[in-house]
Amino acid sequence: MSVALFEPYTLRSLTIPNRVWMAPMDQYSAEPSGPDAGVPNDWHFAHYAARATGGTGLILVEATAVSPEGRISPADLGIWNDTQARALSRIARFLKEHGTVPGIQLGHGGRKASTKRPWEGRGPVGPGEHGWQPVGPSPVPFAEDHPVPTELTAEQIAEIPGQFAEAARRARGAGFEVVEVHGAHGYLISSFLSPYANRRTDAYGGSFENRTRLALDVVDAIRGAWPEELPVFFKISATDWLEDAGWTADDTVRFARLLREHGVDLLDVSSGGNGGPADIPVGPGYQVPFAARVKAETGLPVAAVGLITESGQAEKIVANGEADAVLLGRELLRDASWARRAARELGAVTHAPVPYAWAI
């Protein structure tokens, strides 16, 4: 019996061994300053290696900042220098050697940058805690306890695509085979997309075309720096969950068509995160319909995320054509070998290291 969740999947020249993929999840575990700022350490290596040996088909390394001020917290990973890229190459190499496709998410925290690690409480950190002044499309803070971001000038915005392109070059040099643009959850690119966070009146604000300009410029810059034969993903918040005030599911479908024209190969479909009085109906698979709609209306491949926890649930999503793959987050934190367990439950086979072969 064929099990859709464990069928290989090909994008451009790259074949991913199964449809169980790991979503980018910040570990907030790098040094905040000094020569090792943003550099992955033994924690990061062990974290990703465990999910690779657990049979995950593709691992997207957590949001990795394209500039120092692009980190979400001072303890985030970065890829703005060669020291960081060399350390990341160890992770990419191990993943590939053990049958997992190595991917990386590139991001910029924007108005949600310079924040505390979650276990230290929410809210911003100041200069005395290795913090900095966040930036955004407009002086609209993410929340009441967050600072008003500095509004980027048009000249500063024009520099951002180059930062993403240089990060993509380093990522490929480090051995990654998938690069994902973080355009979700209210971080910099997402905040430009959303009329809730973007109140500009210049070429980067106002109309749909203007609000999507930076995102498309970033995609174009990355596509120009990234090998033609390898895929580019884009992560999006399908809706801000803000009635008549933010980005909508209709906007996402319209934007997905543009992303496909600009060389994006797959849309990673999440939702929310831009702030405001959002009422989000969280439940098992609550974001899957957004992915399914994009796939049905645009033909762009999609990955579904959001409270996907059971093997049968994941299999149904892929088998029914609602998504081409599932991206697991917290469930893979709970169980690094979720993919191999799911394969057993569904009567399929997934890859495993030779020393683990007797457990398959």
Instruction: Point out the residues that are catalytic.
Output: 187
The answer to whether 64 and 105 have CB atoms below 8 angstroms apart is yes
Q: Is 342 exposed, middle or buried (CB count within 10 Å of its CB: 0-12, 13-18, 19+)?
A: buried
Per the structure block, which two tokens stand in for 173?
């040099």
Per the structure block, which two tokens stand in for 51?
């999910």
Instruction: Give the 3-state secondary structure of residue 296.
Output: helix
Per the structure block, which two tokens stand in for 1?
């019996």
Q: Is 262 exposed, middle or buried (CB count within 10 Å of its CB: 0-12, 13-18, 19+)?
A: middle
Strands 135-136 and 232-237: unpaired
Measured between alpha carbons, how far is 334 from 304 in angstroms, rounded to an integer? 19
Measured between alpha carbons, how far is 343 from 6 in angstroms, rounded to an integer? 7
Measured between alpha carbons, how far is 29 from 306 in angstroms, rounded to an integer? 24
